Amino acid sequence: MNIIYQHNDSILRGYDGLRIEAAECRFHLSGPVKDNLLDKEEKEFFSERLRTLHEDTGFTASERLLADIQALEDEQVNVQNFRIGEAYAEVVLEEFFHCRFHWNELRDARNPKGNKTGADLVGFIEVGGQILFLFGEVKTSSETANRPPQVMTNAKGIENQLRDLYSSTEKRRTLIAYLQNKARLFPDGHPFKNDLNAGIRAYYSGDGNYHLIGVLIRDVEPDERDISTSYERIKKYIIEPIGLKLMALYLSIPKEEWLQIINER
């Protein structure tokens, strides 16, 4: 992954343009992005539980049990490209930017094709030795007619979504409550609970700090105008000490090929 352009006002505020070359992109898509989209950890836990039941000598297995074991083993990803973009953003943020997403939101979905609510990214970021809540939005676009693309600037674009997260204490409170609810499922001392406690202390301290991020996923040639103009606009609205980061990820593989790569054996 190469830095194509970068601007920093402080360790908490700035923007980055990053290019991901084809080999690394293919590795991400077929590995951690796929694992994220399938929630590999939870899938393997469920699959192991069903196999244990099947191997129980006192249990008569139904055809449904065998079918579900096979379905879990053969499961493929069937999502739109914007979902792939969201998963890719999480992978890059965790791998390179000290972010943590302890809970895969697929576990909350009764309908696997349902839309997320609240924010695309809900987790934690470590900046300057401090753990902060991270709230963010992700958009995927191949548009080149406009720089920035419309997914940055339209009514439901990243600019307005970040402004909304900044101005709505109710939305942020709901997202914090969501994390609190999930953290209760883990034992004391678990990294999730440690991050939650640190995030709450930072959020409710005198400065009330937290971090907002917007990630633009692209499969076109890099152009700093993709996010520089948006950053200059919203940094005047989202004021310090709130963290603000915009990021453009330029994938070297066209989006039409993403799903095929993800499902390759």
Going by C-alpha positions, the residue among 66, 73, 70 that lies closest to residue 38 is: 73
At residue 122 the predicted structure's pLDDT band, cuts being 50, 70 and 90, is: very high
Beta strands 99-100 and 130-141 are: unpaired
Dist. CA 136–CA 128, nearest whole Å: 19
Q: Are 136 and 212 in contact (CB under 8 A)?
A: yes
pTM of the full structure: 0.89
Q: Where along the chain do its domains lie?
A: 2-30+83-262
Alpha-carbon distances of 112 from 45, 78, 83, 264, rounded to whole Å: 18, 10, 11, 21
At residue 202 the predicted structure's pLDDT band, cuts being 50, 70 and 90, is: very high
Reduced DSSP (H G I as helix, E B as strand, rest coil) percent helix, strand, coil of the chain, to 5? 45, 20, 30
Write out pLDDT tens, residues 147-192: 999 999 999 999 999 999 999 999 999 999 999 999 999 999 999 9
Write out pLDDT tens, residues 211-245: 999 999 999 999 999 999 999 999 999 999 999 99
Give me the pLDDT at residue 57, please.
57
Q: Are 86 and 93 in contact (CB under 8 A)?
A: no
Query: Residue 58 pLDDT more than 80?
Result: no
Going by C-alpha positions, the residue among 61, 186, 251, 211 that lies closest to residue 126 is: 211
